[in-house]
Amino acid sequence: MGRIEEIWNGDRLIQDFGMKLLEAREGYARVSVKVEDRFLNAHSIGHGVLLFAAADAAFALSVNAAVDAVGVQWSLNIIRAAKPGEEIVGESRVFHRGRQSMVCELTVTGEDGRLLLRGQSTAMPVSRAVYAEKSPGRKAT
């Protein structure tokens, strides 16, 4: 099983949220998730947590496609509401891949292509051995 499948299938929250893997390769990933009733906030719009989840799942795939990495920082603006029932798309594009850090552009868009969330996130590569032994932080996801 490839790295992508391993992360995707092993991630209980991604599975529980019913996410769909649309595309994932080194440096880029795209996933979708439906705004089900259980993901609504008190104003009956899609919860910010769902938007974060869509962006974060794409982030994890885009950085872990090639190397093991831990997500360390997320900055994001939520600018529009997700509508009940629509399928939203989370995207991550690695725009800097350094020896010590990877930085990504994150976006979440609605079914009609309108921008809902935009942000930036940072991950650090770690070796599997190091991670297993010393647990320096957490895996990106």
Residues forming contacts to its own copies in the complex (CB under 8 A) are 6-13, 16, 37-43, 45, 47-50, 52-53, 56, 60, 70-81, 95-96, 98-101, 103, 105, 115, 118-120, 122, 124, 126, 131, 134-141
Q: How far is the CB of 22 from its own copies (least distance, A)?
A: 18
Per residue, the 3-state secondary structure of 4-67, as one string, reads HHHHHHHCHHHHHCCCEEEEEECCEEEEEEECCHHHECCCCCECHHHHHHHHHHHHHHHHHCCC
Q: Which is nearer to its own copies, 89 or 119 (CB)?
A: 119
Q: Which backbone phi and psi does 131 adopt, to 5 degrees?
A: -60, -50
Q: Which is nearer to its own copies, 99 or 113 (CB)?
A: 99
Q: How far is the CB of 81 from its own copies (least distance, A)?
A: 4
Nearest to 26 by CA among 99, 102, 100, 90: 102
Q: Which is nearer to its own copies, 22 or 115 (CB)?
A: 115
Q: Which backbone phi and psi does 95 adopt, to 5 degrees?
A: -105, -10
Q: Which is nearer to its own copies, 24 or 81 (CB)?
A: 81
